[in-house]
Structure 1
């Protein structure tokens, strides 16, 4: 099974060390958002992963070519995201292949997650 690594997985600032990284195994064909929800990585999902928002926007730092292709729907929704880069993907649409993937959770996605989880937002202060 491929591994997926979430960088800044919970949005908590720390000294530069490995504690802001979470690596888990996931089945090929699983979306980045599905894996994030299973392991507790803070990826936004305001629309529930239905390709209606851009809150699950992540930057793929490694393994981009292992993910499925971007279709027209994802490309259209990506226009709503902030700070879109060449390595940007929507977590609800990007499905894992057979190789390891490293993603960074965007500030936009983290903020969406915090908005969706007000108790966690209060704790983050």
Structure 2
């Protein structure tokens, strides 16, 4: 089981920590199941960059970044070295640990 902390760049949103999160689901799926706003225009199939996030801690618990994912991250707003797409960060089976992500300010996508 995992512990995942969601931090937010958007002003006024406090961090949310979820405990006992099961593996074999993406960070996007986990966010949506817990009413955490994370855009996903393509439906979570790695065809856009709207579920862009910053993986602050726990990169060893998710799949490595692919070339396709990197291409879409290059199109994201304010990409960083730790940028990932939430739909591609699937938690590994048989492990447990702590993951920390920061979600960019989602209000910047309201016009899309």
In 2, the alpha carbon distance for the partners of 1:37 and 1:55 equals 14
Q: Which runs of 5+ in 1 are unaligned?
A: 117-125
**Which one is further off, 20-29 or 32-41?**
20-29
How far the C-alpha of 1:41 sits from its partner, in A, is: 1.1
Corresponding residue for 2:53?
58
- Closer/same/farther in 2, CA of residues 39 and 114 from structure 1, 3 Å limit: farther
Structure of higher RCO (CA pairs closer than 8 Å, 6+ residues apart)? 2
Scaled by the length of structure 2, the TM-score of the pair is 0.84
Q: Which runs of 5+ in 2 are unaligned?
A: none
In 2, the alpha carbon distance for the partners of 1:85 and 1:91 equals 14
Matched positions, count? 108
- 1:101 maps to 2:111: no
Superposed CA RMSD in Å reads 2.1
Aligned 1:1-125 pairs, distance under 5 A: 1-8=1-8, 11=10, 13-14=11-12, 20-24=14-18, 25-97=20-92, 98-107=96-105, 110-111=106-107
- Closer/same/farther in 2, CA of residues 61 and 83 from structure 1, 3 Å limit: same
Moved over 6 A (4+): none
